[in-house]
Amino acid sequence: MKTTGIVHIVGAGPGDPDLITVQGLRRIREADVILHDRLVHPRLIAEARRDAIVIDVGKRPGAEDEQQKEIHRLMIDYARQGKVVCRLKGGDPFVFGRGGEETDALASAGVPFDVTPGVTSVTAAPASAGIPVTHRGCSHSFLVINGSRSVDLESGEWLAARELLRAGGTVVVVMGLGRIAEIAAKLLEDGCSPKTPAAAISRATWPDQESRVGSVSDIAAKSTGLKSPALIVIGSVAALSKEHLGRLAADFADASA
């Protein structure tokens, strides 16, 4: 009788390989099989054992649900062969990572598993741009929401996001770059001040990270040309970005000259 292996679902962090956890790195080094997302840094893949089976299971456009089913099959099949499997996912597995679907599939198949949390881009991307998602006397709460075209901007979640902005909180939008003009227009239509600060952060923590800072009224235009993945921060905290504060410092220096 074969001994069932185990699946370690591991968060690789937002991009920079130095931001993986110690436990996550150990899981990679000990694995017999690594099933990794497309955006996981190559330096982390290079930590695999020489004899490890390494498979890129990153999603490609179209038939994402079928691709997800194949990931489930691979995890279960390899674990049933008695192998130690590292399912390496960008960010945190349980934050817009379909990690819950994978643990459900493993549990239903009777396959042992555990989860190694990862640094999520939800907070890491703003931090890398110098933006705190909460700030004393400025914003005491933040909401994270999906901005993809599959989500209705009239949903209860988006209504809650607009209310939070009106109350002075922070809204972090993931997967919304391709829809940023529509999102901004809807916020303005529903009474959001056009002066509300906003920032778009592309490829956070990677060497080619780029940030654009403005307001709800102009962030769509300012974000032209940004690469995905990108994240949008809306609220007063966006005015605390390194780029914004750097411009203020430069303007002050010019005025003082």
Catalytic residues: 37, 59
Opening angle at CA 173, ends 167 and 176, nearest 5: 135
Gap between the Cα atoms of 107 and 93, Å rounded: 16
Q: Where are the alpha helices (DSSP H) in the chain?
A: 22-30, 42-45, 64-80, 99-109, 121-128, 156-166, 180-189, 219-222, 242-256
Gap between the Cα atoms of 69 and 6, Å rounded: 18
Gap between the Cα atoms of 37 and 91, Å rounded: 10
- The DSSP symbol for 190 reads T
Q: Where are the alpha helices (DSSP H) in 143-241?
A: 156-166, 180-189, 219-222
Other CB atoms within a 10 A radius of the CB of residue 11 amount to 26
Q: What are phi and psi of 225, to 5 degrees?
A: 90, -10
Polymer length in residues for the chain = 257
Gap between the Cα atoms of 215 and 200, Å rounded: 10
